[in-house]
Structure 1
Amino acid sequence: MAEFGLLNWAIVIAYLCITVAIGLFASRSVASASDFQLGSRNLPWWALGVSVVATYVSALSFLGAPAWAYGSGMAALAIHMNYPLVVFVVVTVLLPFFFNSGAPSIYEYLEHRFGVRTRSVLALIFMFSQVITSASIVVAASVVTTFVTGIDVHTSILIITALVLGYTMVGGLEAVIWTDVLQATILFAGAGVILWNLLHGPTPLDEALHQLRAAGKLQALNTALDFTIAPTVWAGVGAMTLYHITVYGANQMMVQRALAAKNIGDAKKSYLTMGYAGFVIYFLFFLIGALLYVHFKGVPFKQPNEIILIYAQSLQIPGLMGLLAAAILSATMSALSASFNSLATTSVADFYQRFYNRNGSDGQYLWASRGFTLMWGVISIPISYAFVGSGGSILERLTEVGSFFVGAQLATFGLGAYSKHTTEDGLLIGIAASFVTLAIVVYGCPPLGLAPVNVAWPWYVVIGGSANIAVTLLASQMLHGSKSDWHEYTVPGQRLRFIREGLPQMQDGWHLVPGRIDRPVWGLLVWFGLIVAFLAYFQTLG
């Protein structure tokens, strides 16, 4: 405790106390499973928007993005330049589907569109991938707590998980949202202090940019058509756009925030927050990593995720390590609480309520939600232990692991929205084919004499998704033939339904019908163009 300092401990403890207080305050309005899963549905859109940002921009980004840029330079930013395109698609196509359903789980849509088997399979895929994400998030925070306090990494994992479980089980989604707002504020304050000191350090910005350009670290737009390299423009605009559409549009953890909005306009505005702010945030994180490369003269680190902490410690600013520890803890707890809440929601809505207790009381579903929250927290702990000691950027590693699942997920929702002839039997065959194809491409198949293909991980979503679509369409035609009418839960089918039933197509100036583009959403395309122009200019500096 002496080494960390009384002031630093005071900052961390004060933050933890405020977080617990928010959870207890939010618990007063949790009287049913719906309250636990979607809150009061009266939260302001800006709070939901901050929550969307904070959930994805977690400790993985705070530690991993600078570590990634330290090694790969600003080229890695290409992976994160696509947020305007991603949000454009999500708020136009997918979000209206889920919001209009009124269900807490996005996988209920799949049952309406295809059947209960598809709903269950995709929910299981989400839960499997999400618990891995939860584990990696905790490990990112344990890097910090071990570094600044000396607490054993395994003990740190237990403490952080227990704290998050406590306020998430009590306060539900509303506690998650409001703690996200606090946690985002602390996270960006910590990053701001680091960036300010780097910009006002011994190396002027123009000289730092000159050194980065000489080292080949300033090129943000790598236009090489090389599928073995992860951070290229083609991977960022093509493959990673599809990846992030899945993360934001076909992921219970993210969509659940929009489902908690009081109307469709607030749901869309919450997502527009990320569409406009996402690139700026990641640019600043990657810029920190690039400037740290200059500061440390490119010296390699055994644990790259500690680079930003080592720099902060060297500044010897009173309270800074406490602020950073609170920032990392806040980012971790933000993402982790959202993850546990969404896992519990999916467990209850898609399995417990659907198969085991269809006519239960609100009280039963509420206690089941809290029980599943605890269960997923416990399950995540041994997985977290397995992540301890992994090398490289933890942000890059997590994104690479997640890319195995997104192809099948995105193709399923895409076929649901825009395919007339897809059937459930054909789709399930396609999902299996997606994973088999990807496994053969990545790992090879010795019995068949097939060697692994050298392809960068961003393209896994394209490979898996393409296999899913091709096999699904073929299998559906062979098993059931063509369909004469659009299904009610496709985009064309929804449009026909709104016309046929005379339903209002807009609410407070925002489209309720999937596939209709709202005026503010068009601005995302303009913003994407400005991002490309800025990066083209940025890499000429120095």
Structure 2
Amino acid sequence: MSSIDWAVLIVTLVAIVSYGVYKSRGAQNIQGYLLGNQSSPWYAVCLSVMATQASAITFLSAPGQAYSSGMGFVQFYLGLPLAMIVLCITFVPIFHRLKVYTAYEYLEQRFDLKTRALTAFLFLIQRGLSTGITIYAPSIILSTILNINTTYTTLCIGSIVVAYTVYGGTKAVSYTQMLQMSIIFLGLFAAGIMVVHLLPGDVGFSKAIGIAGKMGRTNAIDFTFDLNNRYTVWTGIIGGFFLQLSYFGTDQSQVGRYLTGASVGQSRLGLLMNGLVKIPMQFLILLIGVLVFTFYQYNRPPIFFNSFELHKLENSSYNPQLNVLKKEYEEAFKSKQTEVNKLSKAISSSNQQVIDQQRVALQAADEQTKAIKTKVTTLMLQNDKGANVDDNNYIFLSFVTKYLPKGLIGLLIAIIFLASMGSTASALNSLASTSVIDIYKRLINKEADDAQYLKASRWSTLIWGAVCIVMAIFAGKIGNLLEAVNILGSYIYGTILGVFLVAFYVKHVGGRAVFCAALLAELMVCILGFNDVVAYLWLNVIGCLLVVILSMLLQPFFKKKTAAVSSNGS
């Protein structure tokens, strides 16, 4: 990067962190530290909720996802607006009325302590692992720019986020997230314009989309009903609805954001606006990835986008073989470029027969370049068995650093950093609040004063920060980060959601029945998931329904057992 880009990056990061720390000064009690004294307006709730969900993973992996396999991932969010409506009607007023710090406090009032502890424990596992992945995402950027190992960049970035979250608590998180999302929207808009500007003069926006469409990259909607297809309208509306309902309704990283609302109405309005804005924002991010794909049909992309892994191979004994593959790749791309130009002319002439012929020819040329890339990754594994051969997360970053103008590069990289900082800080804050309120205060130290609980919250944030940084160091082997986070959540969210639905709507079911049902459901979901029986979004539906059904089936047994014990006692 240029000195201008470094200046933009550093000034943006320092200004936002300083602003968040300044605005969050004076948190003297646990209520202020974990809930920000419940004083946030609706727009702050909306931006904070969006920033928590839109991590650096979104801005690194989503364009790469669209580049590699098209825009189908947008269907993942189709259930979000419906989930927001359900949350506003049920979850939000209940949590506000009970004046809880965490979502899991309610479960002890409704069921018992062990059910509360189980759901809190499941959340801590899921969110702790996911936060490690979230911290890892921006470390990719520094690693690529500085050409150093991601371990060092992970330690650096993680330490910065942990420091201001420990100091400021949820206010530091909320105030920084408001500015973060404003800059993110500005940067994405600028990036989209620049991609189109960098295309050849005779290739405008519509033709760029048309070329990407002929190569299967604009397939945003799929109505086929296939349980093994990850992204269709049905998996999005049904499976996505259950996932989003559980994520926003039972995951403390999100519940903690809208519990900061000044009233039920402010929290509701913030969530509804999130439901309206999220899908267009995600569509725009994926569209940028599609435009980058078209750009690389005219401009030769790197033979491998992860420059750190490529440099390792170049400096190894396999470099002669790599050079041969680079020459083959260059020739293959020239052939591909010829076919792209022919397709562009066919689209301009609206000759459907020629368009179909050129589409087939271009896809064949594309497969040739992919085959060469596969040979490169094989060499990488021969050189280093632990090499990261999935470069999907590096595609957009490579484009930004090589082709965008000075200043804008620094801004876009700042956006990715800010997104990571916002979601990571929210996660750490939620991990701390759940650990202190649901574990420490409830099970370990029930009689401490407010100052002790505030101190415990800061220590818990620090400890979870260290744990997540360690997890982040090992996150590079899991492929596409965006999918990894959602797959991980799908193993647990359905079970937790099922417990809450039973608590709200199945009044005759008690604590022991729902506790056993949750354990059985989680076991069955893990078996189905590990064996790839269905697409991962359906695990949310299955887990939720299993908890509800099994708890209803088990409740009569526990009633009889309770009656028998009472009879023997008398």
Output the CA distance in 2 between the equivalents of 1:355 and 1:107: 14
Q: Which residue of 2 aligns with 1:463?
A: 542
Residue 343 of structure 1 pairs with residue 340 of structure 2: no
How large is the RMSD of aligned CA atoms in angstroms?
Answer: 1.8
Q: Which amino acid aligns with 1:440?
A: I
Q: Which residue of 1 aligns with 2:504?
A: 417
Question: Deviation per CA, 1:249-281, whole angstroms, max 9, x where unpaired?
Answer: 111110112111111111111111211101111
Q: Is the CA contact (8 Å cut-off) linking 2:132 and 2:471 kept in structure 1?
A: yes
Q: Is the CA contact (8 Å cut-off) linking 1:148 and 1:321 kept in structure 2?
A: no
After alignment, is 297-306 or 201-210 more displaced?
297-306
Output the CA distance in 2 between the equivalents of 1:90 and 1:189: 29
Q: Which residue of 2 aligns with 1:191?
A: 188
Distance 1:38-1:209 versus aligned 2 partners, 3 A rule: same
Output the CA distance in 2 between the equivalents of 1:231 and 1:482: 45
Question: Deviation per CA, 1:198-243, whole angstroms, max 9, x where unpaired?
Answer: 2333231221222233223222221111111100111001111100
Matching residue within 170, 175, 179 for 1:178: 175
Q: Which amino acid aligns with 2:94?
A: F
Gaps of 5+ in 1: 444-451, 484-542
Q: Is the CA contact (8 Å cut-off) linking 1:400 and 1:458 kept in structure 2?
A: yes
TM-score by length of 2: 0.80
CA deviation after TM superposition for structure 1 residue 480, in Å? 1.4
Q: Which residue of 2 aligns with 1:478?
A: 557
Q: Which residue of 2 aligns with 1:64?
A: 61
Output the CA distance in 2 between the equivalents of 1:471 and 1:461: 15
Residue 363 of structure 1 pairs with residue 451 of structure 2: yes
TM-score by length of 1: 0.84
Question: Deviation per CA, 1:447-480, whole angstroms, max 9, x where unpaired?
Answer: xxxxx45321111112222222222111112211
Question: Deviation per CA, 1:466-506, whole angstroms, max 9, x where unpaired?
Answer: 222222111112211699xxxxxxxxxxxxxxxxxxxxxxx
Matching residue within 334, 341, 345 for 2:422: 334
After alignment, is 218-227 or 247-256 more displaced?
218-227
Q: Is the CA contact (8 Å cut-off) linking 1:68 and 1:396 kept in structure 2?
A: no
Residue 139 of structure 1 pairs with residue 227 of structure 2: no
Alignment of 1:292-331 (within 5 A): 292-297=292-297, 302-331=390-419
Output the CA distance in 2 between the equivalents of 1:381 and 1:24: 21
Gaps of 5+ in 2: 298-365, 374-389, 563-570
Q: Which amino acid aligns with 1:369?
A: S
Secondary structure of 1:420's aligned partner: coil
Output the CA distance in 1 between the equivalents of 2:523 and 2:478: 26
Q: Is the CA contact (8 Å cut-off) linking 1:169 and 1:373 kept in structure 2?
A: yes
Residue 101 of structure 1 pairs with residue 98 of structure 2: yes
Alignment of 1:72-471 (within 5 A): 72-200=69-197, 201-202=199-200, 203-297=203-297, 302-391=390-479, 393-443=480-530, 452=531, 454-471=533-550
Question: Deviation per CA, 1:168-200, whole angstroms, max 9, x where unpaired?
Answer: 111111110010012112222222221111233
Matching residue within 3, 8, 12 for 1:6: 3
CA deviation after TM superposition for structure 1 residue 57, in Å? 1.0
Alignment of 1:519-534 (within 5 A): none
CA deviation after TM superposition for structure 1 residue 151, in Å? 4.0
Q: Structure 1 runs of 4+ off > 6 angstroms?
A: none
Distance 1:20-1:198 versus aligned 2 partners, 3 A rule: closer
Output the CA distance in 1 between the equivalents of 2:40 and 2:529: 44
Q: Which amino acid aligns with 2:205?
A: L
Output the CA distance in 2 between the equivalents of 1:139 and 1:441: 28
Q: Is the CA contact (8 Å cut-off) linking 1:108 and 1:350 kept in structure 2?
A: yes
Secondary structure of 2:100's aligned partner: coil
Secondary structure of 1:88's aligned partner: helix
Structure 1 or 2: more helix by fraction: 2
Q: Which residue of 2 aligns with 1:502?
A: none
Secondary structure of 1:456's aligned partner: coil
Q: Is the CA contact (8 Å cut-off) linking 2:132 and 2:475 kept in structure 1?
A: yes
Output the CA distance in 2 between the equivalents of 1:101 and 1:414: 17
